[in-house]
């Protein structure tokens, strides 16, 4: 009987641990095909994927790039070339067209979705405004 109670307690405890684990991806904000907003669509991508400790925040400034504010995007030469995503180092990195693949395939961040990558491209094509 004591064995049965211990086993039951173990199963209950284990079930609680597994139920409490959250292995879902961060909620993605859908980005429209036009009229992409920096505040609504682009900065949330950076906040969820890029501004982590050790990465592109104001303190760590990995690779000389901070993505914590709109002004930071233009502090690094060629990171954003308005109206030209194919010349913008940021778009080339997130789309896998440069040596610097971002986010890196290691670490604690999830890769960007096609919708997020296309949203960044559209935002740059539309002039990379602080809207």
Which pLDDT tens digit goes with each residue over 68-92?
999 999 999 999 999 999 999 999 9
Give me the number of domains the chain comprises: 1
Look up the domain containing 110 and give its range.
29-125
> Measuring CA to CA, how many Å separate 61 from each of 38, 39, 42, 50, 80?
20, 21, 18, 10, 16
Q: State yes or no: pLDDT of 21 exceeds 50.
A: no
Say if 3 falls within a structural domain: no
Per-residue pLDDT averaged across 83-104, rounded? 89
20: in domain: no
Contact present, 56 and 62 (Cβ < 8 Å): yes
Within a domain: residue 5? no
Residue 6 lies in a domain: no
Name residue, tokens 């760590």. 60
Tokens of 22: 């959250």
pTM for the full model? 0.76
* Inside any domain, residue 17: no
> Is residue 130 in a domain?
no
| 44 part of a folded domain | yes
pLDDT at 63 over 50: yes
For 53, which DSSP code? Answer: T
Q: Among 31-40, 52-61, 122-131, where is mean pLDDT lowest?
A: 52-61
Using alpha carbons, select from 92, 31, 104, 32 the residue that is nearest to residue 62.
104
53, part of any domain: yes
């Amino acid at each position: 009987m004591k064995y049965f109670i211990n086993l039951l307690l173990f199963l209950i405890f284990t079930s609680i641990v597994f139920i409490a684990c959250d292995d879902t991806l961060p909620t993605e904000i859908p980005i429209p095909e036009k009229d992409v907003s920096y505040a609504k669509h682009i900065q949330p991508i950076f906040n969820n994927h890029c501004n982590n400790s050790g990465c592109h925040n104001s303190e760590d400034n990995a690779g000389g790039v901070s993505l914590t504010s709109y002004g930071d995007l233009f502090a690094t030469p060629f990171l954003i070339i308005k109206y030209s995503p194919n010349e913008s180092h940021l778009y080339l990195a997130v789309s896998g067209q440069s040596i610097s693949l971002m986010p890196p395939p290691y670490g604690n961040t999830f890769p960007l979705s096609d919708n997020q990558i296309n949203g960044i491209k559209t935002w740059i094509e539309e002039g990379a405004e602080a809207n």
